[in-house]
């Protein structure tokens, strides 16, 4: 998930456990957290406008995210009764597949909800780019990609490859352009890797 330009935001990556997973595994909460990470601090009303939701719904789900430590108040921005929210971490990570194998079916169900919502959001973001790419400057017309590759790997080789790809992305995170740099833009990288049946 993307990092906001707010330098006060923690660089920490939140590793999910069963309790925090239950607090996050909701479609609107995922979208709220994603918006705060990508676009920076906002009020419930601003987020409602951005996401096409009611401010009552965004307020409720922001409080739930706060109760689980995903978002926090940003008191420096608030004026009067206006309450601003910010993401508490740069990203969320599923540590291992133990949550998918958890003995509690509600944990496994929450994990499945989370993964399918992430996949849906990825598809929506890609579709938005495809529908609007003609509006972008010419420099960006050769700086995007939709590719797929099929390799024959062992689980160990697949993990090694994914770790190397993450390393490359993190190297570029350290070189991120300043928001005022000409022709710079937020750049979304989505990575999907999974085995396929022989049939």
Banded pLDDT at 199 (limits 50, 70, 90)? confident
d(CA 67, CA 58): 14
Give the pLDDT of residue 1: 37
Residue 119: CB partners within 8 Å, gap ≥ 6?
A: 192
d(CA 74, CA 86): 6
What is the pLDDT averaged over residues 184-197?
92
CATH number of 13-144: 1.10.10.10
Q: What average pLDDT does the chain have?
A: 90
Q: What's residue 11's pLDDT? A: 59
- Decide if 102 contacts 16 (C-beta within 8 A): no
Pairwise CA distance, residues 53 & 45, whole Å: 9
**Rounded to two decimals, what is the model's pTM?**
0.80
What is the residue extent of each domain of the chain?
Answer: 13-144
Strands 13-15 and 91-93: parallel
Q: Is the pLDDT of residue 7 over 80?
A: no
């Amino acid at each position: 998930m993307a990092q906001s330009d707010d330098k006060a935001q923690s660089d920490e990556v939140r590793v999910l456990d069963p309790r925090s997973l239950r607090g996050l595994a909701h479609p609107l909460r995922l979208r709220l957290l994603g918006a705060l990470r990508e676009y920076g601090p906002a009020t419930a009303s601003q987020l409602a406008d951005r996401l096409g939701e009611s401010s009552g719904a965004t307020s409720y789900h922001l409080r739930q995210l706060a109760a689980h430590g995903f978002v926090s108040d940003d008191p420096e921005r608030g004026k009067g009764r206006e309450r601003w929210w910010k993401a508490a971490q740069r990203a969320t990570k599923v540590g291992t597949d133990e949550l998918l194998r958890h003995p509690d079916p509600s944990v496994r169900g929450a994990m499945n909800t989370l993964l399918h919502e992430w996949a849906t959001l990825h598809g929506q973001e890609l579709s938005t780019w495809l529908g609007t790419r003609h509006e972008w400057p010419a420099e960006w017309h050769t700086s995007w990609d939709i590719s797929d590759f099929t390799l024959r790997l062992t689980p160990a080789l697949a993990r090694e490859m994914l770790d190397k790809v993450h390393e490359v992305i993190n190297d570029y995170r350290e070189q991120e352009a300043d928001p005022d740099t000409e022709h710079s833009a937020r750049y979304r990288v989505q990575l999907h890797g999974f085995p396929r049946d022989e049939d």
